[in-house]
A and B are shown apart, each in its own frame.
Chain A
Amino acid sequence: MSRIAGRFAALQADGRRALIPYVTAGDPQRASTVPLLHGMVEAGADLLEIGVPFSDPMADGPVVQRSSERALKNGIGLADVLGMVEDFRAKDGGTPVVLMGYANPIESMGVEKFVAAAKVAGVDGVIVVDYPPEECAEFARMAKAAGIDPVFLLAPTSTEERIRSVAKVASGFLYYVSLRGITGAGNIDIADVAAHLPRIRAASRLPIGVGFGIRDAASARRVAEVADAVVIGSRVIQEIEAAGAEQAVSRVQALLAPIRAALDERPAKVLA
């Protein structure tokens, strides 16, 4: 069983929901990321999502764009990101790590080389935002063969047919984008999420994480009523932006702690 599947199984056994925070690698400084990862685990993160900076992050809102630009100014490339995961793994062998990024840095390194290096570094899953299932059959196959879960996005506009084609190649978990638009935009519509998840559950037994638009303990808790995991990205980056390198870990922990508590308060519910 992969680290991701193991973690979700354990949470499910406890009737708990996963908290997945997101940071961009190398933001605000190269040295910030590994301490942030450990700090987030300490504050209750169950899985970690690490953004690979890209010059043209088409699916991201202004907050993640800025973090990507800061990381690029710090000279962070895909190889550096893998190095950070390896450093993190030296002290934490249990927390699953998912990379999130765009296709071009991976293709530039070479898909085969990337998969091998990611496995060595201790990466558990990869979300390639601009790799829909039909364009990445080979990548998904190689990743799975290396024990890395290819994680895919689903959206409110995804048709039944698309949900089925994603379910066929995805592993680890499915990432439901809770609103139309880009990361960090607007506020989440819980009723809309609740209405869409059964369509996905009908097509796949994978756990479902929900992200884009979750800003605080209250919205996280409401999402946790219907989802298996809550992803928080732009809100984390905003804390880092406001705090600067020195205070980043403590500010992010202060953001995550009440969200963790809110997720655990909710009554345990049997998963579909």
Chain B
Amino acid sequence: MQMDDLPDPRGHFGPFGGVFVAETLSHALAELRDAYERFRRDPEFLAEFRHELKHYVGRPSPVYHARRWSQALGGAQIYLKREDLNHTGAHKINNTIGQALLARRMDKKRIIAETGAGMHGVAAATVAARLGLPCLVYMGSEDVKRQAANVYRMKLLGAEVAPVASGSKTLKDALNEAMRDWVTNIEDTFYIIGTVAGPHPYPMMVRDFQSVIGEECRVQMPELAGRQPDAVIACVGGGSNAMGIFYPYVKDENVRLIGVEAAGEGLATGRHAASLCAGRPGVLHGNRTYLLQDENGQILETHSISAGLDYPGVGPEHAWLKDQHRAEYVAVTDDEALAAFDSLCRYEGIIPALESAHAAAHAAKIAPSLTRETILLVNLSGRGDKDMHTVAERRGLRL
């Protein structure tokens, strides 16, 4: 894992990040911070993490040249980092393994997690089963309805799924409820947060565990394409797959970093989830970052065809990279994401997650205006099996 100077010891990325939590959580976070500080430098811990990634997750995931699709677009060459080929079908497992190994070293007996689309919930349930720990996953009651297959997957894995009916009944409310559980059961419970948000040390810790994505790319791109890419493109909800692939490239100023948010039905309609493109800084879920909020500072409900991007905040390191102009953030609509989804199916025989289809859509948007020598690396963060119902329903079909 790569060390870097940010965040500062209290979790700040410039004005963003930090530990904005009630006193009742301070001690647990300090305990977690100290434990992580110790184990992130512990060769035994890191060796076990790498071993699990290799033998349980199936890493390294390949990088693949999407030749037919690139040719059809008639410009830049698009390469895909195949996180969809990981065990459980997305990048989420990289992080849940890291945190679960930490939980075991901290002698915690119980795992809790929040989930939106259910991918992080499945990844948490998976590692909990693997380590023999009981797991409770909080999920907004709206999402429970939208993602029935993932709810069943979690149950098959032995996890309990707790529907959350407060607020907007989606991911942010599941996160609130998981925090409440943690505060109440702080002695024996480890809270596995699924993205690079939340209070310090979560944004840093999740970034570190996900950085394996970008580290592999740095080795694989020269092997496959002869050099590093001109741009790295990833979708951003909370931002964990994007941080994972961006981070090892942050110091490499020749590589453009492009985060793609969900523009939903269009930024102008207000029905979107683009916190960096259309929000303003505030405090939510333990950190300061860009938020979608009304004029009174109330958090807004979000919309995206992809449940995994449906979050009104974003990891604080992305807020920092945006303000530093180190990364660019753009947004693509539901329709654009669906078009890219279809293209990947038809040209490459890859059914991407709708989240990842957002990153692909932006690549498709810019590729035609770039030279054939330009290399775009897209993080294909997950596979689309979970989205069959959503896509079919959108087209008036019932499966």
Chain B binder among A17-25, A32-40, A98-106: A98-106
- Kindly state whether residue B222 has any CB partner on chain A within 8 Å: no
Whether the Cβ atoms of B299 and A55 lie closer than 8 Å is yes
| Among candidates A103, A108, A166, residue contacting B23 with C-beta atoms closer than 8 Å | A166
Whether the Cβ atoms of A58 and B180 lie closer than 8 Å is yes
Whether the Cβ atoms of A104 and B282 lie closer than 8 Å is yes
Whether the Cβ atoms of A109 and B297 lie closer than 8 Å is yes
Complex Cα spacing A157 to B283, Å:
24
Complex Cα spacing A182 to B179, Å:
10
Whether the Cβ atoms of A182 and B23 lie closer than 8 Å is no
Chain B residues near A269: list those with CB within 8 A: none
Chain B binder among A131-139, A187-195, A225-233: A131-139
Whether the Cβ atoms of A162 and B23 lie closer than 8 Å is yes
Whether the Cβ atoms of B27 and A56 lie closer than 8 Å is no
Q: Count how many chain B residues have C-beta atoms less than 8 Å from C-beta atoms of the other chain.
A: 36
Whether the Cβ atoms of A107 and B183 lie closer than 8 Å is no
**B287 smallest CB distance to A (angstroms):** 10
Q: Chain A: which residue is nearest B299 at the CB level?
A: A55
Chain B residues near A134: list those with CB within 8 A: 10, 19
* Cβ contacts A98-127/B at 8 Å (1 or 0 each): 000011111111000000000000000000
Question: Would you call the interface of chain B mostly helix, strand, loop, or mixed?
Answer: mixed
Q: Which of A22-81 contact B (CB under 8 A)?
A: 54-59, 61-62, 65, 69, 72, 77-79
| Among candidates A62, A103, A159, residue contacting B283 with C-beta atoms closer than 8 Å | A103
A interface bracket (residues with beta carbon within 8 Å of B): 35 or more
**A146 smallest CB distance to B (angstroms):** 20
- Kindly state whether residue B381 has any CB partner on chain A within 8 Å: no
- Kindly state whether residue B26 has any CB partner on chain A within 8 Å: yes
- Kindly state whether residue A241 has any CB partner on chain B within 8 Å: no
- Kindly state whether residue A169 has any CB partner on chain B within 8 Å: no
With A56-B284, A107-B283, A134-B10: A78-B297 Cβ-Cβ less than 8 Å:
yes
* Cβ contacts B279-316/A at 8 Å (1 or 0 each): 00111111000010101111100000000000000000
Chain B binder among A89-97, A148-156, A246-254, A255-263: A148-156
A-B contact pairs, 6 of them (CB 8 A): A62-B166, A108-B295, A130-B22, A132-B23, A181-B184, A182-B180
Binding site for B on A (CB under 8 A): 54-59, 61-62, 65, 69, 72, 77-79, 102-109, 129-132, 134-135, 152-155, 157-159, 162, 166, 177, 180-182, 185
Q: Knowing that A55-B167, A72-B298, A130-B286 are A-B contacts, what are 19 other residue pairs whose CB atoms are under 8 Å apart, sorted by A's residue number?
A: A54-B298, A56-B173, A56-B176, A56-B284, A65-B166, A65-B167, A77-B298, A102-B283, A104-B283, A132-B19, A153-B24, A155-B24, A155-B26, A157-B28, A158-B23, A159-B27, A159-B30, A177-B24, A181-B24
